[in-house]
Amino acid sequence: MKFTKQDQHKDGDTVPLAPLIDIVFLTLVFFMATAVFGALETEIDVDLPTADTAQEAMRTQGEIYINLRRDGTVVLNNREMTMDELQETLYQIAEYFPGGSVVIRGDQEAMLGHAIAILDRCRRADIQDVSFAAMPPSDPGEPAEAAL
């Protein structure tokens, strides 16, 4: 008796696994990267002031957070900057994201002069949509952040 090897699957019945694995991997990388960028900007050690009229704001494309520490240090994307470096960055942001917005997360102990200097640099770069981050008066353990 002669046994022959029979093809159990036709060519059209198999699913190519390599492209499927590539798509799943790229989707995973995309979600990991976007989650990291959202968390980086708000993890700076800044004690936000409270405001009765603070409202939670939705993020928009091109929106950046400028963190102003108690000692006047400016932090953008987890990098400390001088005011000149901030100005150059704001020019680039205004060029690539016209109509973009800036949220200043200033420490409640920071001097007003530092915040005014940041506002001045935003105005020079023709960024008109500038707001300040504040916490609504609530329980100290509640992490809600809002913009004015």
Listed range (59-68, 84-93, 96-105) with the worst mean pLDDT: 59-68
Q: Mean pLDDT for the chain?
A: 80
**5-14, 52-61, 75-84: which has the minimum mean pLDDT?**
5-14
16-38 confidence digits (pLDDT tens): 888 889 899 888 888 777 665 55
Tens digits of residue pLDDT in 117-140: 999 999 999 998 998 888 888 755
Query: Which pLDDT score is estimated for 5?
Result: 61
Q: How many CB atoms sit inside 10 A of residue 73's CB? A: 15
DSSP 8-state code for residue 59: -
- What pLDDT was estimated at residue 143? 47
Helix (H) / strand (E) element for 132: namely strand 129-134
Sequence ranges of the domains in the chain: 40-147
Distance CA 19, CA 15 (A): 9
Coil, strand or helix at 56 = coil
Cβ–Cβ < 8 Å for 94, 126: yes
